[in-house]
Structure 1
Amino acid sequence: MVAILIFSIYNGGMAGAIFNYGLYPRSLGMGKAFCAVGGDVEAGYYNPAGLITLKSNDLRVAHQTLYGGGRLEYLGYSFPTKHYGSFGFTIINHGLEGFYSFDENLQSYTSFSFSQNCLIFSYSYPIGNFFGFGLNLKGISSKLAQYADFGFGGDLGIFLFPRESFSFGVMVHNLLPPRLTMNEKTDVFPNIFRFGGSLRFYDNRILIAADGAQPIGYELNPHFGIEFVAIPRALTLRAGVDGNELSFGGGFKWTYGRLAFGLDYAMLMHHAFNYLPANTHKLGLHIQFGGFRVWLKAKPKIFSPSPLHRENVLWIDLHIHAQRPVKRWQLLIRNELGEVVRTFSSWGEPPKRLTWDGLDDVGRSVSDGDYYYELVVIDERDDVLKYDDFLTTIKTIGPEGELETIPEK
């Protein structure tokens, strides 16, 4: 009875329910509305074509508690390339221990466990400026008591992003369906048609996503989610709902130059069962590094524009790692109030080094204080790379001299 209840919670015991659980707290906190989101390694699970928007190497690990005492462990890694598309690898381990068997007299016989492992290889490739396809090849092993089997499967997806703020995805799970046979019973994973759209606004700080998942022979399961970046590169809040669960979550992020570390959490409540199952909790860690990005290094960190001071010029080294040739670039320097005081921009590839003499765009000396930058690079496919951070501190230093004092007589 316990096993029947647990598996009925997930699409009525449908074969391949491991592909309905979700993997990482980000998508789980958004109600699993992720088919048209892309941009991280989870796309390999929801729609591999979404990996075409990947900008950096992405490593994620997560642990989930499932209803009835089950668990799910996840490890994913993806990376983009300049000319050959994006690649991803996903490892899933799902287990449930503590089943009991009984003989014909209903006497307890022995205990056993259920386990399932899945390895997914994902690949995506862009076609034109706003379209890409992706595919998954996956191997699945399953073991229940003394019975075990192994099967292969495949998925296919497409991803469209006609504008930076809007994207649309379509995915067919199990287009090549895995087949697992245990105790002379064969389970064939059903085809699942998944589609979704996502919209970003408020300078990409708000993301709204909606999916529909239609397993062949089962009802359509809707998914809705929202993500709000409360503090850029620091704090993100999430909420979502689908046909079974209501979810809430969030994440913290720490950025150190070209490295970003994150901690994510999600809590799921099963509204379809009137919230009777205990809430489940999901915890994950991620690291983003390398890939395509822009940043700069400026020296000195404190300088004086005075011509009488040796360090009177700021040297700015631009680091541009774009996937395609640069069409246009822009560097904005802002004061503590967020006002733009100096602009550097041009068509084509940017220079390796710039200098700033502490003057604004009309040739006036700027005031003392902290200054920040925003670097924007647009490539030939209108893909945007952007980064902002602290630049330097200006501290005006007057000319050196001696002050002579004459004592009173």
Structure 2
Amino acid sequence: MLAGLGAGAQFRKYSNEFLNIGAGARGLGMGGAQVASTEDGSAGYWNPAGLVYVYEHPAVSFMHADYFAGIGKYDYINAAIPLNDKYKTLGISLLRFGVDDIPNTLYLVEPDGSINYNNIQSFSSADYAFIISYSHLFKDDDNSKVQMSWGANTKIIYRKVGTFANAWGFGFDAGFMYKTPKWRLGIAARDVTSTFNAWSFNFSDREKEVLYLTNNDIPVRSTELTSPTLVLGYAYNFRLAEKVHLLAETNLNMTFDGKRNTIISADPVSIDPKFGIEANINDVFYLRGGISNFQQALADGDTLNQKKVWIFQPSIGAGFKVGNVTIDYAFTNLANQGSPLYSHIFSLRLDIMPKKTTPKEKKNDGVPELPKPVKEKKKKVFYPG
């Protein structure tokens, strides 16, 4: 990894790839098709324009997932805070993707050529992203039931590889959402200013010597650039019964860094579609599914003709809401088609609802009415004689 980082600034197709995993079991269960329908705290990740629909009370969300059968850990936490009115919402998100206990074999071979396993040490490699989101509802028409909102993200990225290297990065996202009772349109522009990571390296003299003797480059500094991505989303809400709805969404992920292994692969634009559905039963129980990551690959067992076929990545999920608590589950592949390792993903959302007041408390501006003092009856005392 370290040897592959050059000395100059350059675009990399898969820079900051941990930011493309997703956030929340709902979105991952729907194959990542979220740009038009996201309305909870995870909107700070998918499309900040949808964050404004967290307007009644603050909410916090948590998610944990194992990556590569437990080798990597992916964690996400979010807080959405409505501001003075229902037209503005602030969001704060933290993501971490880390691999711990990586063997460091730099000193495995002694100067005399013998192997000493006691020299193996371990280190961690972790990527962090701190995202501050702001969303504003600038149109709310009661007659046409049309709502329009915009949002923006500021991203601070920190990446660390043991004691060898670390990087700081900054980037910005923007989003727009158009919502009617039946259909929705969403647009998310990610890394609009080309998010960058500035790497710095710190090797001891002994480590430099080992790298030199093993024909490895010794990097000093480098800057990594992430090119912008544009995501277009469309969603439609079908009413199947009085208390049963089916939401279907399509996203088109457009990248501008040259040809990729996607359905539409061109230079400089490649397009990767995603599809997701969600069945909503009485706003209590949810069933979800999605397909994404369409790629061309060699047919199984066909090593002679080199015939390629289209493959895709399916995902499923479910959710359950009780009061102010929502639990979501997804079963999906967090890696890629070359590493089909499916994971169980759970996320929890807690709406921080204010304490309900009784009618008497409302009458007294929320102050509980104290019990009235009981007057003590005077006891009659009888004197003898």
Query: Which of 280, 300, 303 is the matching residue for 2:343?
Result: 280
Taking the aligned partners of 2:234 and 2:200, their CA distance within structure 1 comes to 38
Q: In the alignment, which residue of structure 2 is the partner of 1:113?
A: 124
DSSP-derived class of the 1:41 partner? coil
Taking structure 1 as the reference length, the TM-score comes to 0.62
Task: Determine the C-alpha separation between the residues in 1 that align with 2:91 and 2:334.
Answer: 31
Opposite residue 317 of structure 2, the aligned amino acid is: G
In the alignment, which residue of structure 1 is the partner of 2:102? 99
Q: Report if aligned partners of 1:245, 1:270 keep a CA contact under 8 Å in 2.
A: no
Cα distance in 1 for partners of 2:335, 2:174 equals 31
- Alpha-carbon shift at residue 271 of structure 1 (Å): 9.7
How far is the alpha carbon of 1:196 from its aligned partner? 0.5
- The answer on 1:196 being equivalent to 2:233 is yes
Give the match for residue 172 of structure 1: 189
Distance 1:171 1:249 in 2: 24
Structure 1 runs of 4+ aligned residues shifted over 6 Å read 104-108, 295-298
The whole-number CA distance in structure 2 between the counterparts of 1:271 and 1:74 is 17
Residues 114 and 189 from structure 1, CA distance in 2 versus in 1: closer, same or farther, beyond 3 angstroms? same
SS at match of 2:191: strand
Q: What is the 5 A alignment of 1:73-88?
A: 73-81=75-83, 82=85, 85-88=88-91
CA distances 1:83-128 after superposition (whole Å, capped 9, x unpaired): 6511111111111124334449977754322101111111111222
Q: Please give the residue correspondences for 1:329-368 in structure 2 after superposition, counting only pairs within 5 Å.
A: none
Is residue 169 of structure 2 the alignment partner of residue 155 of structure 1? no
Question: Which residue type is aligned with residue 33 of structure 1?
Answer: A
Q: Report matched runs for 1:194-343 at 5 Å.
A: 194-202=231-239, 205-217=245-257, 218=260, 219-230=270-281, 232-243=282-293, 245-255=313-323, 260-269=324-333, 273=337, 277-290=340-353
State the secondary structure of the residue aligned to 1:239.
strand
In the aligned structure 2, how far is the partner of 1:104 from the partner of 1:77?
44
Match of 1:136 in 2: 153
CA distance in 2, matches of 1:110, 1:262: 42
What corresponds to 1:347 in structure 2? none
Count of matched residue positions in the alignment of Structure 1 and Structure 2:
281
Residue 21 of structure 1: CA displacement?
A: 0.5
Cα displacement string for residues 158-178 of structure 1 (whole angstroms, at most 9, x for unaligned residues): 1112x2221111111111313
Match of 1:58 in 2: 59
* Cα distance change, pair 175–284 in 1 and its aligned pair in 2 (3 A): same
Against the structure 1 CA distance between its residues 233 and 142, is the aligned structure 2 distance closer, same or farther, given a 3 Å change threshold? same
> 1:26 Cα deviation (Å)?
0.6
Maintained 8 Å contact 1:246/1:270: no
Counterpart-to-counterpart distance in 1, 2:292 and 2:228: 19
Structure 1 CA distance, aligned partners of 2:349 and 2:74? 17
- The 1:245–1:67 alpha-carbon spacing in structure 2 relative to 1, beyond 3 Å, is farther
User: C-alpha separation between the residues in 1 aligned to 2:336 and 2:132?
Assistant: 33
Deviation track 1:147-205 (CA, whole Å, cap 9, x = no partner) reads: 112222111111112x2221111111111313231442322122111111111121672
Q: Which runs of 5+ in 1 are unaligned?
A: 5-11, 299-316, 318-409
CA distance change for structure 1 residues 98 and 104 in 2, over 3 Å: closer, same or farther?
closer
Confirm or deny: 8 A CA contact 2:55 2:82 kept in the other structure: yes
2:134 to 109, 119, 123: 123
| CA separation of 1:157 and 1:261: change in aligned 2, threshold 3 A | same
- Conserved 8 A contact 2:87-2:137: no
Structure 2: give runs of 5+ residues left out of the alignment.
Answer: 5-11, 110-114, 141-146, 202-220, 261-269, 294-311, 363-385
What TM-score do you get using the length of structure 2 for normalisation? 0.66
Q: CA 1:20–1:264 in 2, change beyond 3 Å: closer, same or farther?
A: same
What is the identity percentage for the equivalent residue pairs of Structure 1 and Structure 2?
24
Equivalent position SS for 2:319: strand
The answer (yes or no) to whether the contact 1:269–1:280 under 8 Å persists in 2 is yes
Hey, what does 1:181 align to over in structure 2? 199
